Amino acid sequence: MRRPLAVAALLAIGCSEPTPPARTGTYGFDASGDVFHWPTERLPVRFYAQPRGNLPRLVQHAIDNWADLFLYGEFTGTLVADSSGADVIVAADSAPDVPPDPGAPVYACSGATSVPSTDAGNRFTEPFHIRLAILPGFTPAQVGACLRRTAIHEAGHALGLFQHSPDPADIMWGPSGATPITADRPSDQDRRTAEVLYHTTPTLLPPP
Ligand SMILES: [Zn+2]
């Protein structure tokens, strides 16, 4: 007769003292104190990719990488065929449609995300713009691998991750100079940081 009581006691202890969520292992995401993430009612975020080479598939890959991190659909995105009405516009000179090079990452491309300005009501006035550029002297496969990583990184900025990670194992690592992004996908630390961001009250509002 004692065993059921012991089990019940153990269960009660387990339920009354849940493990608190880890708050370590994240990096900053605000911009001088301002916080942004896409609100639930604006999902899925509409991404437009210029129809150049492999670019639409690279952008879809980036959307999927971020959306797959979240357990409860806090972020979702979709490719749209028309740039008017898009939330994020992605442009590139070209994007070679070849399998990405599996070798060591090289600095064969660069990326930049323009965070829009805000109006008096702290609302973004226009879409986010992502620009990917190809650097000379590399094989199409090396460029393809670089664009694949960089598209995820820049999409992370458009999710609201406005800062860089100091850890090269993270997709949001901020390489300096001629140093490539080395992560193939968001890491556990990227996931934890994005989850904290999407459960933080934003101070900035999405574009109308
Ligand atoms: Zn960056």
pTM: 0.88
Residue 145 confidence (pLDDT) above 90: yes
Widest Cα–Cα separation across the chain: 77
3-class DSSP state of 143 = helix
Rounded CA-CA distance 130/113 in Å is 4
Residue 171 alpha carbon to ligand 1 centre in Å? 9
Residue 193 alpha carbon to ligand 1 centre in Å? 15
Residue 153 alpha carbon to ligand 1 centre in Å? 6
Rounded CA-CA distance 139/98 in Å is 10
Phi, psi torsion values for 102, nearest 5 degrees = -85, 0
- What pLDDT, on a 0 to 100 scale, did the predictor assign at position 21? 52
Residue 6 alpha carbon to ligand 1 centre in Å? 53
Residue 128 alpha carbon to ligand 1 centre in Å? 13
Helices 140-159, 188-197: inter-axial angle, 10-degree rounding: 30
Q: Which residue in 196, 178, 176 sits closest to 188, CA to CA?
A: 196
Residue 173 alpha carbon to ligand 1 centre in Å? 7
Over residues 109-139, the pLDDT tens digits come to: 999 999 999 999 999 999 999 999 999 999 9
Residue 53 alpha carbon to ligand 1 centre in Å? 23
Question: Going from the N-terminus, what domains does the chain have, and what CATH number goes with each?
Answer: 40-197 (3.40.390.10)
Residue 158 alpha carbon to ligand 1 centre in Å? 10
Residue 2 confidence (pLDDT) above 80: no
Over residues 168-200, the pLDDT tens digits come to: 999 999 988 788 999 999 999 999 999 999 999
- What pLDDT, on a 0 to 100 scale, did the predictor assign at position 177? 77
- What pLDDT, on a 0 to 100 scale, did the predictor assign at position 176? 80
Residue 83 alpha carbon to ligand 1 centre in Å? 23
Burial of 137 (0-12, 13-18, 19+ CB in 10 A): exposed
